[in-house]
Structure 1
């Protein structure tokens, strides 16, 4: 079976992890700081905080912006559950903004219309979480302009988009947001096995994230409430969590970071080849905005909804590990029990009805890609 995603682990990666195993630090040590600084420098952001996974990153990003009961957080329905769940963890309410039918990202025009209605109702969001679906950045300049007009904060869920470009910078530079979140799950572009990171330009948010990651505990002299009693002394100054990543994972991430541009270049080449090979077939390939360059975490095609199940099953039967990304979050039973109903975001529902993600990863060979395309052609026939 050709999987839809797969990690690429080199001998250099293995050596980096083994070096940590042989060191004095395997949990909280220097590899974490080096990984944070390395990715922050790559993206062009001054601050980064590595955590156990991207769900934890989204949670503490919301907490750092003081999301709580009575607040409202908006996000895209075309995403993994964590993009919405993070607000519920804080006691806030969630709502969804429909997607652009070309990029499948949160649509700025739909956001503006919803904001106009919310302003009239006196129920504006505190935070909006645009999701860079499949590795392509949302139109962050447009979203940032709306944030300034309506007074909400912005968390970029860039779990799919490490290495992507937007305008004249890298996704993660936080030029148009308060915070950016990355994921390092094995099917993502860069992996730490499990892991995530939050980036920001704001020192106060950076300090809050560091506290929230580790029990709200500090040894920083500037934050201590009482006189320092010795080298052993620490204080809990906030309610935090154990969301820490390990040095083992950070060493793997730092090693992978040295190949990030190579990973992205290969994915882009494979996506371009898919575009060419699939062009004659009765399907839609993913649209790309002129404002950036996707990192291509996913390659989602769209087929006639009435044929999606048959095409999907035929691909699996031919050894192609196709997948589907995503069921609109509000159509999940848990969210339906919160009062959400189908019809809320017609574009997201229309996209989902015909969506199939084809295999795309660094080590996918052209022969394997030809096998995937042949299977798609056969399934459509």
Structure 2
């Protein structure tokens, strides 16, 4: 019998293990040189000026909204089809979350729905937008930047699904997810089912030096040694603002460095898997569309079916552990109590009734994928 096939999983090889062991034998387990090395390599990889490693992507989202000046009562727009953290970060800062609908084919935050929501309110009503590169598909941030500039809004790109993804703008320039050209800040996740596994961890990217320095401060309790003079000893530091302990360790960074080096190969393999799914399901089963001039990093491969619960149960009986991404955030009990009854989020709600994420990870074998495809097609037929 075929072994259990999850929807996603990490790939830890001998070189990853050796890198962690070597770090365990060094002087620094945290706040050491590996963190900075990882940040520099990651910034270079996504083509941003700065990168700040954090304990997880949720922490990164939290200090990012604070860095961009979120105040209690400020309103921020995001998508309902995302993990709750994309919205929760606004609540952490005392802000209000407003949801715009998704595009029914790409499953990304709809530019038209976002524009309609913004223009339904007075100027200055909203402060920012958090678009999500859902499933690894990049949002066209050039279009969102034009909208944001028109209404003086900031943008945080939630790129947790998309390291290695990119889109090509109207000037024929390639933009890696999180490169900071159109968004003020980019956020990445290093959870084990993501492309780069650190156990837990995250990275914030930006091209703005002022934002970068603020992020560094908030990551470490708001403490700095920058103002130390010859009148102070080497122990001197100042806490200039209320920050947090959101640091990543050198152990995790060592693993992140070796994982990052393999990401291009991993994304290439993910796209090979996606193409095989598409060729098998074309004309039979709906799947996420790929806009022109866009390269999907494929954290997920999502299909839509009419009898989703039955397919989900059937696949589990076959040892295929598909998953659902995501329950729309506005329907979760906490957000439901806030009240979104009047919001037009019909595309998101319809998507949720049909969506199911299939196995998608670089070490998925051809034999395993063929087994998954065979079982799905036999169920549909």
TM-score by length of 2: 0.96
Equivalences for 1:129-278 in 2 at 5 Å?
129-167=130-168, 168-221=174-227, 229-278=232-281
Structure 2 match to 1:67:
70
Deviations 1:274-315 (A, max 9, x none): 10112253x2021111131010000000012xx111111111
Instruction: Decide whether the 8 Å contact of 1:217 with 1:237 is kept in 2.
Output: yes
State which of 63, 88, 92 in structure 2 corresponds to 1:89: 92
Helix, strand or coil at the partner of 2:302: strand
Deviations 1:97-155 (A, max 9, x none): 11111110001111111111123xx5521110000000011121110000110100000
Question: Within 1, Cα distance between the matches of 2:376 and 2:121?
Answer: 43
Helix, strand or coil at the partner of 2:120: helix
Give 5+ residue unaligned stretches, structure 1. Answer: none
Structure 2 match to 1:45:
48
Pairwise CA distance, 1:197: 0.6
Question: Within 1, Cα distance between the matches of 2:111 and 2:342?
Answer: 21
Give 5+ residue unaligned stretches, structure 2. Answer: 169-173
Question: Within 2, Cα distance between the matches of 1:156 and 1:327?
Answer: 20
Helix, strand or coil at the partner of 1:118: coil
Instruction: Decide whether the 8 Å contact of 1:320 with 1:375 is kept in 2.
Output: no
Structure 2 match to 1:332:
332
Pairwise CA distance, 1:169: 2.3
Deviations 1:56-104 (A, max 9, x none): 0000110100102021111010000000000000001110011111110
Instruction: Decide whether the 8 Å contact of 2:90 with 2:96 is kept in 1.
Output: yes
Per mean C-alpha deviation after superposition, the further-off stretch among 81-90 and 109-118 is: 109-118
Structure 2 match to 1:289:
291
CA pair 268-130 structure 1, distance change in 2 beyond 3 A:
same
TM-score by length of 1: 0.96
Runs of 4+ in 1 over 6 A off after TM superposition: none
CA pair 367-228 structure 1, distance change in 2 beyond 3 A:
farther
Question: Within 1, Cα distance between the matches of 2:108 and 2:125?
Answer: 21
Question: Within 2, Cα distance between the matches of 1:145 and 1:228?
Answer: 49
Question: Within 2, Cα distance between the matches of 1:341 and 1:329?
Answer: 13
Equivalences for 1:305-344 in 2 at 5 Å?
307-341=307-341, 344=344
Question: Within 2, Cα distance between the matches of 1:278 and 1:370?
Answer: 12
CA pair 378-209 structure 1, distance change in 2 beyond 3 A:
same
Helix, strand or coil at the partner of 1:169: strand
CA pair 332-190 structure 1, distance change in 2 beyond 3 A:
same
Helix, strand or coil at the partner of 1:356: strand
Helix, strand or coil at the partner of 2:5: coil
Question: Within 1, Cα distance between the matches of 2:257 and 2:94?
Answer: 35
Helix, strand or coil at the partner of 2:320: coil
Question: Within 2, Cα distance between the matches of 1:92 and 1:115?
Answer: 16
Instruction: Decide whether the 8 Å contact of 2:99 with 2:343 is kept in 1.
Output: no
